[in-house]
Amino acid sequence: MRRVVVTGLGVVSPIGLGRETYWRALEEGRSGVGTISLFDATDYAVKIAAEVKDFDPEDWMDKKEARRADRVIHFVTAAAAMAVKDAQLNVHQIDPYRFGVYIGSGEGGIQTTNDNYGILRDKGPSRVSPFFVPMMLSSMPAAYVAITYGAKGPNMAVVTACASATHSMGEAYETILRGDADVMITGGAEAAITPIAMAGFAALKALSTRNDEPERASRPFDMGRDGFVMGEGAGVLIFEELEHALNRGANILAEVVGYGNTCDAYHITAPDPEGDGPKRAMEMAIRKGNLRPQDVDLINAHGTSTPLNDKMESAAIRAVFGDHADNLLVNSTKSMIGHCLGAAGALEAIAALQSIVEGVVHPTLNYEEPDPECNVNVVGPKAVKRDVRCVLVNNFGFGGHNAVLAFKKYEG
């Protein structure tokens, strides 16, 4: 039976670049949320977001190429390079036809779309960029990474809103399991802190309006939560078939053991308040991983900081784990990096994997007044030392898309 392990991690996030920098910031409870600087948000109801800072795309790609590419491509190029380096992966020694890329993005090149619509409106159709169409596609991050590394195997971009990265990783895992690839570059990327996206999410009343206290705005499971904070970035992971990893002497970080994929079939934006879809997705990941509910030590929750999601997710966790929910830890990475939409699952999976590697569970920032309707064991504003042997990563997207991954400590 084939097994799948994780051998490399790459991060572009609002709290730092690279796996180690990102993890230390999470462990210390640092917030990446601040006032928007990417555009003038003076007239916007929401003026805060978690932006990627101190990032120069020319550190990762040719200057001319960087000018032509959307910000989402900048992020995924950097994160993929970090992951390949972290895995000490010599891509020239891999059979290119057994080397694939699954990277999700909910919004794709939305900045490119935003900019070129302005050009069309102000200057006419002849001035629209010839790079507009390829660079606005949600499939382009996966294609771009494949072109960069010569990966000619399975290639796909899952687009399931905020579950995009987790579905991409789940499908990459199953692609290796069924024998269609030996190495997969997988994860998610998003760069949606743009005028149109911020206006749209604000119109939905989905975003926090705590403009005067940016660092306190994202507060998953807390009584005072009022919406999510938009984030951006990219998380890229290297998944390998176990024997392939062992044969090249790879450093194995953890094992991927289960994947759940369900739909609420309930509403285009609101979650099913009963949490049936997330419940079934968690149960599926546990069952396919040959686990028992009591084997799970930690859930890196979707934990958006919205009133409906956190309440629903808590109910789903209770339904799956029963009394074990009192012992199992729950945290939300979004409390520090905001909601990175299609990149969220990958960045959160990396945080969960670091908990396995480091034996530490990062805090949930701003968890100050527990909501009695979120009756789960949420890690507060301080990190907790814990031997984490098994973790679930939950992500749910608009439209009722639910994805859950199960990771375990690798035991040979």
Listed residues 247, 271, 290: the one ending a domain: 247
Q: Which residues of the chain have pLDDT under 70?
A: none
Residues 155 and 282 in one domain: no
Listed residues 214, 247, 280: the one ending a domain: 247
Residue type, 148: T
CATH of the domain at 379: 3.40.47.10
> Which residue among the candidates 162, 340, 374, 390 is catalytic per the annotation?
162
> In the annotation, is 374 catalytic?
no
Residues 182 and 264 in one domain: no
Burial 24-53 (b: 16+ CB within 10 A, else e): ebbbebebbbbebebeebeebebbbbbbbe
Residue type, 9: L
Residue with tokens 């309707």: 373
Residues 6 or more apart in contact with residue 379 via CB below 8 angstroms:
329, 330, 331, 361, 362, 363, 364, 367
Q: What is the pTM of this model?
A: 0.97
Listed residues 247, 270, 299: the one ending a domain: 247
What pLDDT sits at residue 1?
Answer: 87
What pLDDT sits at residue 191?
Answer: 98
Residues 221 and 262 in one domain: no
Residues 239 and 271 in one domain: no
What pLDDT sits at residue 384?
Answer: 98
| 215-243: pLDDT as tens digits | 999 999 999 999 999 999 999 999 999 99
Residues 238 and 319 in one domain: no
- Write the DSSP string, 116-158: HHHHHHHH-GGGS-TTHHHHH-TTHHHHHHHHHHT--S-EE--
Residues 283 and 194 in one domain: no
Residues 237 and 281 in one domain: no
CB 300 within 8 A of CB 332: yes
Residue 350: domain span: 258-408
What pLDDT sits at residue 412?
Answer: 83
Residue 253 lies in a domain: no
Residue 8 lies in a domain: yes
Q: Please report how the helices 276-288 and 307-321 are oriented relative to each other, as an axis angle in degrees rounded to 10.
A: 40
Number of domains in the chain: 2
Residue 252 lies in a domain: no
| 381-394: pLDDT as tens digits | 999 999 999 999 99
What pLDDT sits at residue 227?
Answer: 98
